[in-house]
Amino acid sequence: MARSALRRLMAEYKQLTLNPPEGIIAGPINEENFFEWEAMITGPEGTCFEGGVFSAKLTFPPDYPLAPPKMQFTCEMYHPNIYPDGRVCISILHAPGEDPMGYECSSERWSPVQSVEKILLSVISMLAEPNVESGANVDAAKMWREDRDQFNRIADHLVRKSLGLPDTFSKV
């Protein structure tokens, strides 16, 4: 099983290298282990995360692509669909099949036709348009709904931090 996962990951890495999507750089942390990847995601244009460069890690199971990878931001993030520890909560990364909670339909969840590129593009979309009804970070979801100006100030702080720029953040 791991051998076919390795072949698939090598093919996806080659595709990402030859035709990288805008705003995404991703690949194995080292070529000795194709099951641990790092990714750099540029904040989507026209959003409060615009211009930021955010680092993340993807960990692939031995039965990939039958099972989804796990994704976790390795930089500080504040977003309704990102747990405080950086883990990403998005439908495409949920195990295939029916949702035991009845919230997602099976077509929104992981399937072997998905790819690293589709995951990362979905995360960029998630940064732009969070699902605040199913928040992994309840405080961020509440702030997104009720105090967008404060949320935007926090996002600006994270963008500046991701770029190594001086911090202008204050919790006014």
Where in the sequence numbering do the catalytic residues fall? 89
Separation of alpha carbons 161 and 55, rounded Å: 12
Would you state the structure tokens that stand for residue 145, as one six-digit string? 């709904």
Q: For the chain, percent helix, then strand, then coil, each to nearest 5? A: 35, 20, 45
Amino acid at 122: S
Alpha carbons 165 and 5: distance in angstroms, whole number: 39
* Helices and strands (H, E) in the chain, number of each type: 4, 4
> 51 and 163 in contact (C-beta within 8 Å)?
yes
CA distance 120 to 24: 7
Measure CA of the first residue to CA of the last residue in the chain; give whole Å: 53
